[in-house]
A and B are shown apart, each in its own frame.
Chain A
Amino acid sequence: MRIDRNSIAVVLVGVVLLALGPVLPSWAVSLLNVALCYGTVVLGMMLLMRTGIVSFGHGLYYCLGAYAAGLLDHFGKMPDMLLMVGAGAVTAGLVAAVLGLLLAKYRDIFFAMLSLAFSMILYGLLVKTASLGSTDGFNVAAKTVGGIVIAEDSVRIVVYSLAVVFATLSAFLLHQYLASHQGRLAGAIKDNELRVEYMGASVKAAVHRNYVISAVLAGIGGALMAVNIGHIDPEMTYWPQSGEFVFVAILSGTGSVFAPLGGALVFEAIRSFAYEYSPNTWQMVLGITMLLVMIFLPGGLWSLFTRKRGA
């Protein structure tokens, strides 16, 4: 394990966020909470983008994570938050390990379309499953954490704190991975796959591994979101949801593990205020933001933090 400045910063930010929980107004806590769940999924998108591939179907794992968590509550009668997040991560990881065997062979538009197709298969299945509420979905609630019953008036703060812990842990571990030998292959694959093969590394294995990691992150994000929102439906694997993850990933940039989390927060904040102040044109506000970022900050919002140092 390498303890560099960024690892320390991740932990510090996590601690600050935990401390802010009881202090911030409740609307800000719920905004942060949603952003953290989203950010965790986008961390995985960032890893894929660094590897040079874009998935238009990551809603699949986000939704699988959420439904794994939801089914534990719905049928398993085990509404333990740690178990739920664990189930989300494992389910997403297992499915990705299988689908990855096929997907790791493809690149570019073929990868994007295939991943989209898989996510829409899950959507179709869920819509036809009336016992899970079809498009209406069903409600989810976490009642315990590691066997300890959550007091009714502290649910929000517990859910938020665990989101902080999981998001921070994910960012920390992903940062470690990106700095490792295996992780550094991502950028090399993006630049030139042939050279990576000549170096003696397996491109397919690396792509497969990164795909599974990103799916696990999406599964964790989905499970956290299910508990945070308290309701899940097939919309989570519908294509606009997957597109939104790509949107936030591009908005954030891939420069650092801070980028997806910060980008998700910016996105959520813009969306929330746009809903409030321009209810008829909130989509346009998001679109214009995206255009401005693409034109003036092609490296995403994160380039705001790196550009100055170079200059």
Chain B
Amino acid sequence: MLTRLLRVALTGLAITAVSSAPALAQQKTSIKIGFVTFLSGPASGPFGVPAKLAAEGIVESLNAGKGPAPYQIKGIGGLPVELVVIDEAGGATKQVSEYRTLVQRQDVDVVIGYIGSGDCLAIAPVAEELKKLTVFFDCGTPRIFEEGSYKYVFRTRPHATMDAVAATMYLLDNRPAVKRVSGINQNYAYGQDSWNDFEATIKAMKPGVEIVTSQMPKFGAGQYGSEISALIASNPDVIHSSLWGGDLEAFMLQAQPRDIFKKSQLVLVAGEPYLHRLPGKIPDGTIVGARGTNGVFAPDSALKRWLVATYKAKSGGLDPNYPAYSVAQAILGVKAAWEKAAAKKIGSATPMGAAKNVKEEMEKAYAPPTQEEVIAAFERNVFDSPSGKVHMNLGKGHQAVMGTAYGSTRFENGVVKVGSIKYYDADRVTPPEGVSSLDWIKSGFKRTK
């Protein structure tokens, strides 16, 4: 048995040794992006698969050179983009293993991905260890750049604090007399954070409000009978909710017949993507957000029309939801940084005729930028996206900042429309550098330390 074991071990060693022989250094012919998103589990339907469709559509369009200005260059920096898609399901432990696989076995140039905040928190230090440019496209927790500082990690969407702050501003603008506040949020990190931010914000902006109840059903509960009873019994002016996906749909279907929304104003901070699924079930005047100026809140532009057309072609006629906008932001963010780095290289190359090794110098200048050069160009970059201009201003230039918007629903001719849209500048809804979100809210939204 001993010899057999040894033989197995040696065979394994031989296989790995052969398969890991270092590839010869070659001229770069494509850019390989590892793309991680939920392909299974509860988050795959509303977030993961739309994100994947958007990524595939965008990459195909960019590779064909069909991107609108300023993204007309083919692929990224002229090189075609290749996507390697990985499922985000399975928890942070598996995701860290798979991240190592993407970087070390698949040898991708960039990793774009992660919807779960826990996955982002776990991946960030590993990205730093493996020194691989990694862009988070959708996770929301402010903890990533508030608790850590990273060189190789970027997040091209704003963090979740602004959802609560802007929702409160919009609410108080429309209903200044609010007194009794309640909430229903899922009992997991995002639901808890969302409620805590909202509670802290409304207490800071309107002292004297009373929190009458906070319901925390478990994630994926599906039945909300007792929570709805508790909400009705507490007689709130406002119901705050960050429910999403099947949970939100189930809650709306169960709550609406009980007339709870006749008396209480409903605020759905992440409700916008579900409106088309709930025609007639969303009471008029419900305050909805899309976690940024995404979807109906995105101002009209060539980039937005391009994303909508690309996504519709890929999904069989559906409008892109906010994860699709986030994906566009991440891919275009990398493209913008890459091409900025390439242009800088060419711009600073020795002028023709002035040097001895003209050919070598020019070859060097026109070679794809190194990862370090891309990162330098990415930091504090400003680039265009389908949801507007993105400023990489927080987290020492690694965390995107954008304004956001909220609106109220109106049921018209069989579809739910969003009207009375108000935009909020990034400065009003995002903490300044170096201040944690909760401290900023409690400090009364000070712009300086």
Contact = CB atoms under 8 A, between A and B. Distances in A.
Nearest to B49: A280
A128 B188 CA distance: 8
B357 interface: no
Given A231-B96, A236-B93, A138 B121 contact: yes
A255 to B, nearest CB: 11
Interface in B161-190: 187-189
A136 B141 contact: yes
Question: Which of A5, A155, A230, A272 neighbours the largest number of chain B CB atoms within 10 Å of its CB?
Answer: A230
B16 A25 contact: yes
A135 B191 CA distance: 10
Contacts of B16: 24-25, 28
Contact of A279 (B86, B92, B118, B126): B86
Interface in B80-134: 84-87, 91-94, 96-98, 100-101, 104-106, 117-118, 121-122, 125-126, 129
Interface stretch (B2-10, B257-265, B311-319): B2-10
A272 B2 contact: no
B196 interface: yes
Contacts of B84: 276
B301 interface: no
Contacts of B26: none
A235 B39 contact: no
Interface string A203-243: 00000000000000000000001000111110110100100
Contacts of A233: 91-92, 118, 122
Q: Output the residue of A133, A156, A235 with the most chain B CB within 10 A.
A: A133
Given A28-B16, A305-B4, A128 B187 contact: yes
A196 to B, nearest CB: 30
B143 interface: yes
Contact of B93 (A130, A155, A235, A280): A235
A28 B101 CA distance: 9
A189 B409 CA distance: 66
B13 interface: yes
B91 A276 contact: no
B126 to A, nearest CB: 6
A258 interface: yes
A43 to B, nearest CB: 17
A110 interface: no
Nearest to B44: A280
Given A127-B187, A231-B122, A34 B1 contact: no
B40 interface: yes
Interface size class of B (residues with CB under 8 A): 35 or more
A136 to B, nearest CB: 4
A137 B97 contact: no
B188 A134 contact: yes
Interface in A250-286: 258, 268, 271-272, 275-276, 279-280, 282-283
Given A5-B1, A136-B117, A139-B121, A230 B39 contact: no
B4 A27 contact: no
B213 interface: no
A34 B97 CA distance: 8
A275 B87 contact: yes
Contact of B100 (A8, A16, A30, A232): A30
A230 B91 contact: no
A137 B9 contact: no
B235 interface: no
Given A5-B1, A13-B9, A279-B87, A28 B20 contact: yes
A288 interface: no
A141 B125 contact: yes
Nearest to B103: A27
Contact of A235 (B6, B20, B91, B148): B91
B40 A229 contact: no
A27 B189 contact: no
B100 A26 contact: yes
Contact of A272 (B1, B13, B91, B98): B98
B371 interface: no
Residue among A20, A134, A232, A272 with max Cβ neighbours from chain B (10 Å): A134
Contacts of B121: 133, 136-139, 231
A24 B39 CA distance: 31
A65 to B, nearest CB: 13
Contact of B106 (A25, A134, A156, A276): A276
A80 B121 CA distance: 22
B192 interface: yes
Contacts of A225: 93
A238 B118 CA distance: 15
Residue with the greatest number of chain A CB neighbours at <10 A, chosen from B85, B189, B219: B189
A9 interface: yes
Given A229-B122, A272-B101, A9 B1 contact: yes
Nearest to B22: A25
B5 A258 contact: yes
Contacts of B118: 133, 135-137, 231, 233, 235
Interface in A1-58: 5, 8-9, 12-13, 16, 20, 23-28, 30-31, 34
Chain B CB within 10 Å — which of A8, A238, A272 has the most? A272
A139 B13 CA distance: 32
B131 to A, nearest CB: 11
A264 to B, nearest CB: 13
A229 B93 contact: yes
A75 to B, nearest CB: 15
B85 A279 contact: yes
A31 B13 contact: no
Contacts of B196: 130
15 contacts: A24-B13, A25-B104, A27-B104, A30-B100, A34-B93, A130-B192, A133-B189, A136-B189, A137-B92, A139-B122, A139-B148, A231-B121, A231-B122, A272-B98, A305-B1
Interface of A: 5, 8-9, 12-13, 16, 20, 23-28, 30-31, 34, 127-128, 130, 133-139, 141, 155-156, 225, 229-233, 235-236, 238, 241, 258, 268, 271-272, 275-276, 279-280, 282-283, 305, 309
Given A136-B118, A139-B125, 5 more contacts: A12-B2, A137-B122, A139-B148, A235-B93, A280-B87
